[in-house]
Structure 1
Amino acid sequence: MKFSPVALLLTSAFLFSHSASCETSPVEPSVLSSGLKTLSADDMEGRRTGTEGAEKAREYILDRIHATAFKGNVDVEVLPFDVQPRKEGEGKVIQGINILVHLEGTGESDKSLIVTAHYDHVGINKGEIYNGADDNASGVVAALAVMETFAAKPPQHDLWIIFPDAEEMGLQGSRHIAASLAVHKIVNPALAINFDMLAQNTKDELYVSGTYHNPALRPLVEQLAKRASIHLLMGHDKPEDGDQDWTMQSDHGAFFKQGIPFLYFGVEDHPHYHKPSDTYENIPLDFFYRSVATVVDAVTFFEQNLDAI
């Protein structure tokens, strides 16, 4: 479920150590498209929290993580939590399951970086499957690409890649993690980067939201925009934006509430948003590939310069 991106701004003295433009994802396009197709297939039944479809999606994500763990220093935890009904008296408590991946940093800094992408969607409604290809199979595939990139070349700082459950039920998975960072040994998080809806746009535009809240990061976002193979725009993060203020509308909001700077990468709402038509067949794959390349490059860049934040 995506509502809007929020971004961070860097100081003008920020050091840019990764200047090359990232035109393509370091992960093969065939792997990206295969992951997107698998997670948004009908047999996933819309990945609603607590269903067999969600379990099947989780198994796919864990298979990818375990395959990557053989190639690098990758640890994984599966974290159950109680999902409360959105309204008192409606429904019952069900179990959600977050997936937490840790890649240990090779440097001496105590700062860490968080990347999130929720894997749940809205399920089946009136017999129709809401496949959620853009929302948020696209973000999950991008987060897996980040994991595989850093497994091949370990980060300098601790990197936490989180696949929250129950985002569509009020950010409950990310709220559970954000409220218990010390329990999960997530120490000194300097930045939280969220992916939610990266694949569907007819104007070749991807938003990064959050610079309103952290204006010192704006020069960095501007630098990223100059070298991206996609139109990377800032916005959707001011109170006056009304319902287009995305600050609390996806998982980054849970970390923002804990005082952690964040960046939210995502597209604007489109005709397929929360509709049965959000399918793999309706995804413009060229845009999706370049969007993933952009966000993988962004995570790489921020990780390398995390001590300047």
Structure 2
Amino acid sequence: PSASRNGNMYMKKSTGNAQENNVPVISVSYQAAASILTKMLPTYTSLKEVKIATYNTNANISINKSTNNLESSNVMGLLEGTDKKDEYVILTGHYDHLGMRDGVIYYGADDDGSGTVSVIQMAEAFAEAKKNGKGPRRSILFMTVSGEEKGLWGSEYYAAHPVYPLAKATVDLNTDMVGRIDPLYKGDSMNYVYTIGEDKLSSDLQKITDSINITAKMQLDRRYNDPKDPNRFYYRSDHYNFAKMGVPIIFYFDGVHKDYHRPTDTVEKINFDLMEKRVRLIFNTAWVMANREEMLKRDLPLNAGTR
């Protein structure tokens, strides 16, 4: 997933539109605000305790803004369905990571090499089924997107400019970090996955997921569906841009570990046995979604909120 905002400052992305107000807008976390404001006030907390009033103050802000325009691409492959080929199941992961910083490679084996590999493996499995005359009824759109770590840019672009109509997309199954074990997970650490978002948009989705899991027998941990969860994972990966457009989603996630967004997120730390269990569950879910008679109902309020 894209990074949380603890201790960081983020510039709003500019579209480059001449009609847009391109005055820099900066979002800051509590920690960053505290770091800045402690030079003027005891703590950021004291600000929160001030009673409502009008204050006059002067501030000088100096910003050096430089822009590098780079091109990147989403990578898509479509496996055409049979009698429901004009309806779609979307399988997503992001293939970008953090690149190099100060000459150090950030490998991103789990985030999101694991998701990228998962999408490719599922594409191979669906293609083999079709080759054997047992292809899915709905078409499957396999998509690895770019720019996730910059702010979900690739999926945001696709959601705004879909190649295939999102009104005909029954679900997006997003795979972002499925190769590791959350050290804080309480339970069978070799048989779990966090599922996020299937309680939103469609009353069908969680019931179907549970029925599929009768065979897989994985622990589906839904703690991050809590709207009060401070991690806000629902807003931090590419499924969110599909949810904003009303497409039901599930985000599959292994949790946060000490190598998250560090150069040490390397392939030898991937737990391939556990990853295989998770990907089989995702594949089986996609298979059911692609072959059931009806598309998922979209009967719950959007309530997607903002990032």
1:282 deviation in Å? 1.3
Greater alpha carbon shift after TM alignment, 201-210 vs 188-197: 201-210
Aligned-partner Cα distance in 1 for 2:66–2:244 = 26
Cα deviation 1:119-167 (Å, max 9, x = unaligned): 0000112222111110011001110111111111222112111110111
1:229 deviation in Å? 5.3
Asked whether the 8 Å contact 2:3–2:149 carries over to 1, the reply is no
Q: Are 1:224 and 2:212 counterparts?
A: yes
2:280 counterpart letter in structure 1? A
Asked whether the 8 Å contact 2:198–2:248 carries over to 1, the reply is no
1:287 deviation in Å? 1.3
Aligned position for 1:121: 97
Aligned position for 1:106: 82
Aligned-partner Cα distance in 2 for 1:92–1:140 = 26
1:96 counterpart letter in structure 2? S
Aligned position for 1:263: 250
Q: Are 1:288 and 2:288 counterparts?
A: no
Aligned position for 2:128: 152
| Residue segments in structure 2 that go unaligned for 5+ positions in a row | 5-14, 26-64, 130-134, 183-188, 297-307
Whichever of the two has the greater Rg, that structure is: 2
Question: TM-score, normalising length from structure 2?
Answer: 0.68
Which of 234, 245, 250 is 2:222 aligned to? 234
Aligned-partner Cα distance in 1 for 2:72–2:114 = 20
Aligned-partner Cα distance in 2 for 1:306–1:138 = 31
Instruction: Specify whether residues 109 and 148 from structure 1 end up closer, same or farther in structure 2 by C-alpha distance, changes over 3 A only.
Output: closer
Aligned-partner Cα distance in 2 for 1:126–1:146 = 36
Asked whether the 8 Å contact 1:194–1:252 carries over to 2, the reply is yes
Asked whether the 8 Å contact 1:212–1:238 carries over to 2, the reply is no
Aligned position for 2:173: 193
Structure with bigger helix share is: 1
| Residue segments in structure 1 that go unaligned for 5+ positions in a row | 5-81
Asked whether the 8 Å contact 2:92–2:119 carries over to 1, the reply is yes
Aligned-partner Cα distance in 2 for 1:191–1:3 = 25
Aligned-partner Cα distance in 2 for 1:180–1:201 = 35
1:207 deviation in Å? 1.1
Count residues in correspondence. 229
2:219 counterpart letter in structure 1? H
1:253 counterpart letter in structure 2? Y
Asked whether the 8 Å contact 1:211–1:217 carries over to 2, the reply is yes
Instruction: Specify whether residues 2 and 231 from structure 1 end up closer, same or farther in structure 2 by C-alpha distance, changes over 3 A only.
Output: farther
Instruction: Specify whether residues 95 and 109 from structure 1 end up closer, same or farther in structure 2 by C-alpha distance, changes over 3 A only.
Output: closer
Aligned-partner Cα distance in 2 for 1:229–1:223 = 10
Once the two structures are superposed, the pairs formed by residues 71-150 of structure 1 within 5 Å of their partners are: 89-108=65-84, 110-150=86-126
Aligned position for 1:42: none
Cα deviation 1:12-61 (Å, max 9, x = unaligned): xxxxxxxxxxxxxxxxxxxxxxxxxxxxxxxxxxxxxxxxxxxxxxxxxx
Counterpart secondary structure, 2:224: coil
Asked whether the 8 Å contact 1:272–1:278 carries over to 2, the reply is yes
Aligned-partner Cα distance in 2 for 1:306–1:166 = 35
1:192 deviation in Å? 1.0
Instruction: Specify whether residues 249 and 270 from structure 1 end up closer, same or farther in structure 2 by C-alpha distance, changes over 3 A only.
Output: same
Once the two structures are superposed, the pairs formed by residues 233-252 of structure 1 within 5 Å of their partners are: 233-243=221-231, 245-252=232-239
Cα deviation 1:264-290 (Å, max 9, x = unaligned): 111111111111111011112221222
Instruction: Specify whether residues 306 and 170 from structure 1 end up closer, same or farther in structure 2 by C-alpha distance, changes over 3 A only.
Output: farther
Cα root mean square deviation, aligned: 2.6
Q: Are 1:162 and 2:135 counterparts?
A: no
Instruction: Specify whether residues 269 and 215 from structure 1 end up closer, same or farther in structure 2 by C-alpha distance, changes over 3 A only.
Output: farther
Instruction: Specify whether residues 112 and 271 from structure 1 end up closer, same or farther in structure 2 by C-alpha distance, changes over 3 A only.
Output: same
Aligned-partner Cα distance in 2 for 1:90–1:288 = 41
Aligned-partner Cα distance in 2 for 1:98–1:132 = 18
Aligned-partner Cα distance in 2 for 1:289–1:111 = 27
1:258 counterpart letter in structure 2? M
Asked whether the 8 Å contact 1:210–1:235 carries over to 2, the reply is no
Aligned-partner Cα distance in 1 for 2:101–2:205 = 41
1:144 counterpart letter in structure 2? I
Greater alpha carbon shift after TM alignment, 202-211 vs 119-128: 202-211
Aligned position for 1:10: none
Instruction: Specify whether residues 211 and 3 from structure 1 end up closer, same or farther in structure 2 by C-alpha distance, changes over 3 A only.
Output: farther
